[in-house]
Amino acid sequence: MTLKGTAPKAAEPAMPPHPVLSGYYANADSRQARVDAMFDASAPHYDWITAMMSFGSGRNYRAEALRRHGLAEGMSVLDVGSGTGALALIAQDAVGDGGRVLAVDPSAGMLAQARANGVCETVQATGDDIPLDSDSFDLLSMGYALRHVADLEATFREYRRLLKPGGKLLLLEITRPRNRLGFWCLRCYMRGVVPVITRVFRRSPEAQELMRYYWDTIENCVPPETILAAMQDAGFSEVRRHVVMGIFSEYTGIA
């Protein structure tokens, strides 16, 4: 497998996962640089925050989800939006010496932390333009990062290109609860409690801001039906969504 540039794509209307969030950036063109800067500054704190936020259960859930969706020894795995490598590290352990795991993220700071955590191979790129060969991976995973891409349709087309025929796409996401009480409880926790705890214990205003942004992308994200339709339009078959505890969405499709 070699790094290479992808073919130029025809200009098409973008399908962002959420509208412009003007409290953080001015327009769609400035979004990527602003979001990368937030993640770069928060990278040293990110693992602590996510462990605190999930009460330490995050790794077990990720490992179980990967196992249920077919991760096995010897596979080639691409983990996009890998961040500090939470999914990639689990995948490395599972595929063993006969497999391969590549972690992709646009944030240099997050990838540096991923390498420090033990991720072996990293590529800095956005989800819609990954400089890798077509038909290369058995599994493409993405954990809680779909809300940070620029264009759902372009991203899913790129994922379809990178997967081998019959390869599997697995997207883990947090979805806004449809129950009104559940929504307000989750909003209070994730936009109120988590950012405050982050600021108090990590003394990082950048990490506090990132956690507020994290919730705002959840609250304003397109509905699951839109995500499933975009996956199907990109050429994925057997497109499904499995819901855990009312808020964790597992989107899957076959290339």
Question: 156-197 pLDDT, tens per residue?
Answer: 999 999 999 999 999 999 999 999 999 999 999 999 999 999
Pick the CATH number of 57-175+221-254 from 3.40.50.2300, 2.60.40.1930, 3.40.50.150, 3.30.420.40: 3.40.50.150
Residues 6+ apart with CB under 8 A from 42: 49, 109, 204, 206, 207, 210
Banded pLDDT at 72 (limits 50, 70, 90): very high
Q: Under DSSP, is residue 125 helix (H, G, I), strand (E, B) or coil? A: coil
**Rounded CA separation 1/147 (Å):** 28
104 contacts 82 by C-beta, under 8 angstroms: yes
How confident is the model over 241-253, as a mean pLDDT?
97
Instruction: Examine the pLDDT at 141 and tell me if it is beyond 70.
Output: yes
Exposure string of 12-41, with b = 16+ CB inside 10 Å and e = fewer, is: eeebbbeeeeeebbeeeeebeeebbebbbb
User: What is the total residue count of the chain?
Assistant: 255
pLDDT of residue 14: 85
pTM of the predicted protein model = 0.93
Instruction: Examine the pLDDT at 26 and tell me if it is beyond 70.
Output: yes
Banded pLDDT at 67 (limits 50, 70, 90): very high
Name the residue with higher pLDDT: 121 or 11.
121
Q: Which helix (H) or strand (E) holds 232?
A: helix 224-233
Domain boundaries in the chain? 57-175+221-254
